[in-house]
Structures are given as C-alpha cells and as structure tokens.
Amino acid sequence: MSSAPKIAFNAFTTPSKGVLIAFCGEGLEFGSATRKVLGKTADLVRRAAKGERFSGKSGTSLELLLPEALKVDRLVVIGTGKGSESKPNDALKLGGGAMGKVPKSAEDVTVVAELPSGALDADQAADLAQGIALRAYVFDRYKTKRKDDEKTPEKRSVTIAVEGPGAARKAYARREAVTGGVLMARDLVNEPANVLYPEEFARRTRALSKAGIDVEVLDERDMKKLGMGALLGVGQGSSRESRLVVMRWNGGKKGEAPVCFVGKGVCFDTGGISIKPAGSMEDMKGDMAGAACVTGLMQALAARKAKVNAVGLIGLVENMPDGKAQRPGDIVTSLSGQTIEIINTDAEGRLVLADVIWYAADRFKPKFIVDLATLTGAIIVALGQEYAGMFANNDELSERLTKAGEETGEKVWRMPLAPEYDKMIDSKFADMKNTGGSRWGGAITAAQFIKRFVDDKTPWAHLDIAGTGFDSRQNDVNRSWGSGWGVRLLDRLVAEYYER
Ligand code: BES
Ligand code: MN
Ligand code: ZN
C-alpha cells in the first residue's frame, strides 16, 4: 500500500524544494500572500500563461518547471475562475484537484491556501487538507509491478501554507479522524471477496476496539438462537459462515438512547439460485459498501471522540448458489416473527436488513435508525451516481440528511413510500414476498419491504447507495473504486444534530 502523505500547516513562506501549488482567479489574479510567496516568478507566470492560453478559468492549470527565482522543482498554478459565491464543499474539491496535479514521485508539496479574494479561513484550509488526503488514496495492495511514474516515495509530505496555522491544525484534527474512516471504508469495499468474506470482515472490525469501540461478533449459532431466519437464509448457500457485528461507541451521556446505523454487508452477491448474468458481476464484491460505511463511520466517531452514543450494526453474508442454497418459493421466518416468501434469491439485501434492523430497534431502542445498502439496480436507473436514494418515515430526519448531504457533497434525494407500493409485496403463501414482482419502482418496493421491519415510532431512513458506494468514474476527491460514500455525510449528521 502506498503511504498517505503527512499533512502539516505552516505560515505563508516560500518553500525551498518540491512542488509549489498556488491558486489564481480569472485574469491571473493572485492574492496578496501568494504574490509574496511567488515574488518575481509572478511575472514569469504571466508570460507563460500567454503562450499556454491559460487565463485562470476554473478547472484549468498551468505548470512551470524549475521556475526562475524560486528553488522549487515545479510550480503549479490552478485557476479558480471568477470569484463567484463559494459553496460549502468548494475547498475540499479544490484540495482534491490540487493533489491531482502533483506527480506521483513528488516528496514535498506546498499548497498556498489563498484565493485571489483572500486567505482561506481555518475550516476552509482544513477542508482543503482533507481533500488532499482523500485524493491521495490509492488501493494498490495487489500490484506487484509498478511503472516508474506510478511509484510513490516512502515518505510524502504536504504543507498547507495558511494565515493561522494553529487554528487550521485544530480544525483539521477532526477531519483527519473522519478521513481515516473514509479510507477504511474504501479499503473494505476495494478488497476482493476471496480475501474479505464475512469472518474476515468481522475480524477487521476488531481493530476498532483500539479507538475505544466495543465490538461484539455474533456467529451463526447465536443468530439461529435469536431466530434470524431471513439473514441466515441468504448465507446458507455459502461455505463462508455469516456474521453480525455490533460496534458501540459511548461518547454521549450515560444511559442516553443511542443512534443506530445499520449496513448491508453482502461480501459477494452472485444472486444465489436466481443467479446474475456474468457481465460486471465482479462489482458485487462491493455489495458490502453499506457495512463498510458503517464501520468507517464508527471508526471516525471514535477517533474524533464524538459526544454521542452510537451503535453500528452490520449483517455479513455471502450470497452463493449451491446444493444448500435457498430456493425461490422457500418461506423463511424473520427475527420479527413475520414470514417471507423468497421469490428471487437475488433480492437478498433486504432480507439481511430486515433482521438486523429489527434487532437494532429491539435491543437498543434508538433515537433513530439509518440504514445503508447497495440495495437495487433500480435506484441507479432513477438517480444515477450523483445522489443516493433516501426513504424515510420521518420528515425531520429526512431534512437533516438532505442538508448534511448538500454540505458534504454526499447528496441524498428523497423517494416516496406509499401503501400502494406496499401492497405489491403481499404474498399468497406468507406475510410478504421479497420482491414486488415487477421491475417498476424496484427501489421503492425494496424500501417498503424494509419498512415492514421498522415500527412507526422509530425515526428511520434507508439510503440506497447502489449508485454511490462504488464507482468507476473519477472525481476530485476519489480516484479509487470504493468511494467510502456516507462516512462524511453521517458524521456531519451526528455532529450537527445529535452531539451535545
Ligand atoms: N446488490 C444488488 C443491487 C446492486 C446492483 C447494487 C448493481 C449495486 C450495483 C442487489 O442485491 C440486487 O441484486 N438487487 C436486484 C433486486 C431484484 C432481484 C428485485 C436488482 O436490483 O436487480
Ligand atoms: Mn442481489
Ligand atoms: Zn445485493
């Protein structure tokens, strides 16, 4: 694994080596501190810009090698465009974009945290640093051969030059904790399913106890005793045993009801007997992205010592076809006592969630439950990869999630729940069936199914992250496949509304 860069904050000074990154606006406008840092080189930038037709437009950049009058190897000037209104997420993306301009081989990087309109404040500088850390992540554990330009040095350091280094450092401390959670989630999603099966996933959660989290692992015998027939039915075709992990962080008042996060952890989803077509089936190693997010979130909350009582619960199974596998037509009894007719063994995530959500509510009597699951292809058809689908039985929780989503850039879009959809999952033989029978509204009927395992008094939101949990597209703050989506979102939700 290539190592994460070490990030430090310093006052504005001109660096004497490495890569220097500065920002300029349209018309090659620099801020006053940047002008000082660049000194005479500012004129050189102006001359080079003409030849390159660089005008400082947002999303463009100019690179100068061995710039005269500076001791650095390389100067990168990044355009930020017209000084339009800034959005909450801007500095994070700016940091990610800046890190994208750094050659893999660079050991020392200095970023001047100033826009033409003025120096970034402590929070913005910390966001910039977080964007850098997120962008720098690569998952290369299984690469044994690397081209020279893909090699990163053992030690990389990024210095953020800011107006108030002390305040920025302080603001960055909690973001560093959250970044750790995001990267942990990405690692889990990126791991192949021959390495990361339920037991191994459970084993890795044990590392969270170092941060002060209480980790409890239930095995198949425990779950059988409890009566988790829905979850166990999914895993019964796999040679890998299923697990349920309960992670508790008690940073809040003693005895105060916790908030619960539940994650779908299907370590591999072949579809089971209702087997999936071969095309892109390899992506189904990421069908545990919900569980990865919950794990990363718990790590983040503990690392930043969040003043909240939080419980993360993840249902870990592998969905395989086999002589022992569950069949279409089988009827299972869930922990809630409700019976389910299996119509399609590929609609397995909701079966896992049904038992884990019921267990969470029954045992912890939480203030709210948020579940995350790569649940349906239908949500990708509806929303693509920009927004996760959100279903909720509570307007306040829904509004808070929407707001936290806008602030972090991990956006959610509320989808409907209604009795008409609920009717679609009534079964001839059991209390319900596990699919609506029609592909229409597939994300909604899945949510309706889960809703049958939530009592109306517990505020609940279901996030269908099939489109956002992993991603082959590139963006400013993530170049790897696993996104770690949801860690920053839910950390923000907790920080804004539930920490005291
Ligand atoms: N894990 C899949 C959903 C999925 C698809 C996630 C693509 C990420 C990318 C889920 O278990 C599934 O197979 N859902 C089925 C449900 C159907 C059988 C009712 C689907 O979406 O087709
Ligand atoms: Mn499936
Ligand atoms: Zn699945």
Predicted pLDDT at 238: 98
Q: β-strands 214-218, 243-250: how paired?
A: antiparallel
Which atom of ligand 1 has the smallest separation from the CA of 446?
19
What are 77-129's pLDDT values in tens digits?
999 998 767 788 899 999 999 999 999 999 999 999 999 999 999 999 999 99
Which atom of ligand 1 has the smallest separation from the CA of 377?
21
Tell me whether residue 47 is one of the annotated catalytic residues.
Answer: no
Whole-angstrom Cα Rg for the chain = 24
Spacing, Cα 274 to ligand 2 middle (Å):
9
Spacing, Cα 374 to ligand 2 middle (Å):
9
Instruction: List the structure tokens of 89.
Output: 């997420």
Contact 311, 294 (CB under 8 A): no
What are 472-499's pLDDT values in tens digits?
677 999 999 999 999 999 999 999 999 9
**Which residue type sits at 446?**
A
* pLDDT higher than threshold 80 for residue 149: no
| Per-residue pLDDT band at 63 (split at 50, 70, 90) | very high
What are 297-326's pLDDT values in tens digits?
999 999 999 999 999 999 999 999 999 999
Tell me whether residue 35 is one of the annotated catalytic residues.
Answer: no
- Does the CA dihedral 66-70-73-74 come out positive or negative? negative
Give residues (CB < 6 A) around ligand 1: 269, 283, 287, 344, 346-349, 374-378, 435, 442, 466
Residue 163 and residue 186: Cα distance in Å, rounded? 32
Q: Where are the beta strands (DSSP E) in 320-396?
A: 331-333, 339-341, 369-373, 387-392
Q: Report the residue among 288, 375, 432, 464 best suited for mutation to probe ligand 1: largest number of ligand atoms under 8 A from its CB.
A: 375
Give the ligand whose atoms come closest to the C-alpha of residue 328.
Answer: 1
